[in-house]
Structure 1
Amino acid sequence: MAPAPPARCLPQSALADLADVPATSRWVRSGGTRLHVLDYGGPGVPLVVLPGITSPAITMDFVARELTDLVRPLVVDVRGRGLSDAGGSYSLEEYAEDTESVITGLGLDRPLLFGHSMGARIAAVTAVRRKVAVRGTVLGDPPMSGPGRGPYPTTLDAFLGQLAQAVRGTDADEVAQAWPRWPRPEQALRARWLASCAKDAIAATHRGFENEDFFHWWPSVPGPTALLYGADSPVVTAQGAQEAARLHPSAAFRKIPDAGHMLFWDNPPVALAALREALRPMLT
């Protein structure tokens, strides 16, 4: 008999958050995995949004709702997070297959892809695989760790410690100890939703940050593509940004001042303006 999957939980207060989100829940299947997507609707070009390692879709709501005049955001609960099923290998190519299933399952015509952190890696791999047609990609602070490179700057123990707090029951004050710069509503939202992330999904993805090489895929990402990174990010350092520019000279780059890895949480107005600026020329 297969072992039971690790426990995931959502308090009633977390589910109630969905009532305040101006989006419709959509469901698709990727093989046997059910994936949940928040669809903000509208007539604009679809923008598939892929969040980070411990970020359920709802934690990107404050970003998505600022884009609805420009695009139709669809934010994915990546497998093992939020309301999506857990299970599988959590490899970059499996995540890309899930993204392809979202695009085909929802009938999205040449969407844009935007990913932050883990999601940026997924967006890059999805574009390179060319199994679905996309208009362009925007990558937000993609982890550049990998074989022969330095380790990912946040340890797995740190992630799992925060997850344990969430499973036990946490609040915005405790979240602020790890993420002091975040807006208070986002600290509170993380406190309610982090426990929806599967421990094995976090652990496998963290291993991938050090075993799967972003630079294996990056030079082949088709244009147009843009890379946003934090001026103070330990994930995309100045050296990493220079290497990325050298390997993909046609890509657009934008450094977000007064921001670390968590671009939109650290400096929301500037990061949002940069994302909008990156997306606009891709809408034609």
Structure 2
Amino acid sequence: MESAHGLAGGGRASVEPRVLAAWDAFLHCADAADLNCDSGAPGQRAHDLCVQLGLWTEHRAVHDLVTSARGGARGTPPDVHLVRDAVVATHRNASRAEVLSALRRRRDAVSIYFKNFDEALDLAPAVSAFGRIPLLSVLVGEAYLLAVTALDLVPCGSPPPPEPLQQAGLAALCEVLGALAVDAGLTGSAAFRTPSGGWGFAASEDGWTVRDLGSQLPGGTVIEGDEADLLGLAAGRLDGPRLLRSRRIRAQQLTGLLRFAPLADLPWTPGATLLRLP
């Protein structure tokens, strides 16, 4: 599957099932986790990670994105770390039931967007934790956060996230990187290939495309490995040079990532550690 302006450009009909399925898979992982346990994210409990993804009175997620898109995406992207720390501090003593309920509210808010909001908003830029990119690209991109967080919950008793969730995470990473590249005036392509397929993106002056690799081995810049290793590397949980030396990940024309080097310096770019591999 390929779309002319990323997954978002393919229309909500092509992304809604994947986004909601990613949320459902993540909720299953969160339900099984001991929220008081130290997670795979350094210095954070499972409770902290789930609080960040929840919908709270002062952290309204989808509503705030819609407001930004309708208002012309004014302002600068938030400091992700400051927002995270503030939400975690506010809800440090929230019960397990409250945290899981906040996660379900966030999932429901995404579903409500797809059902009740006009598609004209989908490609409108919104200021988000991923920078200033189309609103639908943000909603797609959140599957990356869900996949990474699900992996971080494994040390807390959660089952490994299912392959569709991890694949959705890689697709989401491609969507956001493509959108950010176009916004920054950068061109080039890269792909993340896994044993079961993987995803790639290409940015040009006309927009960006995202495609499901299927069984194909694309040309150009390709990073290949298991989904968990690629996502762990993208999130900074794993050491890239060590993975390359051990051949747990393999690279083809790695220097092609240098085209996207400016994105690695932006605090809101997901997968910055991947972009720094060269």
The answer to whether the superposition gives a TM-score over 0.5 is no
* TM-score of the two chains, using structure 2 as the length reference: 0.30
* TM-score of the two chains, using structure 1 as the length reference: 0.30
**Greater per-residue helix proportion:** 2
